Amino acid sequence: MLLRAALVIAAAGGTLMASGRARSAGAQSLRGSTASVERMYRQARAEHFSFFETSRGVRRAVDKGLLVPLRTDSTFSLHDVGYPYVRPATLTFVHRLAGQYMDACDEPLVVTSAVRPATRQPGNSVAHSVHPTGMAVDLRKPQKGACLRWLRSTLLELENAGLLEATEEHSPAHFHVAVFATRYTRYVASREKAERQTRLALRPPSAESYTVREGDTLWDIARQHDTTVDAIIEANDLDGNTIRPGQELQIPSGEGSPPLR
């Protein structure tokens, strides 16, 4: 329970310091405005995003990997989404936000729109809408008051940090969110590093250490100590499977089944 609480704090905390262009707290709101629309449009242009005109253009972008599938999982669902594709950074945003929303509200987040070709825009869309780029998603407004307040607060915090632009729409009721890809990707990388450090700080001391010898592999070491490669990687915050002779490794105990012999 302590570990989970610390990780939630790590995931949510420090947002206002995550961007060098963070706006002062309270400087923004979720009210729509011409200035907000232009901020989204300028960011799309700065990222050199294409504005897809037709369904064929969307399909080509998917084939090239410019857009990625948005698939329902245990933390979010799709409702009446005609084109379930988004930019990779926007997909990361949906997964992270939905996981945190599930923890806070015990219900899945609902996505109601993703990429939308310019020729399929609704009649009330603005001229500089960024939906044709795939950087934006629409989120259904929660019915529960506490969940609505949580979502408003979280989106506003991320907006104040300069990581996205969010608007609370009323007809129909939803949140429109445009994710600023480069800034948000850097933010996630910094948060994931902080989360790993938190896990390591809260991990009980290892039962023993091991000095790597010439010819050792992580698989061999895990087998010798009845643990797993993944457990050793996490215990030592390794970037991959590479180790070197003389390196001191902490060997975790009770981390699950050892590799097959």
Q: What is the pLDDT of residue 18?
A: 38
Q: What is the pLDDT of residue 125?
A: 81
**Which residues in the chain land under pLDDT 50?**
1-22, 24-27, 255-261
Q: What is the pLDDT of residue 207?
A: 62
Name the class of domain 2-186.
alpha beta
Give the residue range(s) of CATH 3.10.350.10 domains in the chain. 206-261
Name the class of domain 206-261.
alpha beta
Give the residue range(s) of CATH 3.30.1380 domains in the chain. 2-186
Which pTM does this prediction carry? 0.70
Q: What is the pLDDT of residue 259?
A: 44
Q: What is the pLDDT of residue 260?
A: 44
Contact yes or no for 185/212 (Cβ under 8 A): no
Instruction: Look up residue 154 and give its two tokens.
Output: 């979280």
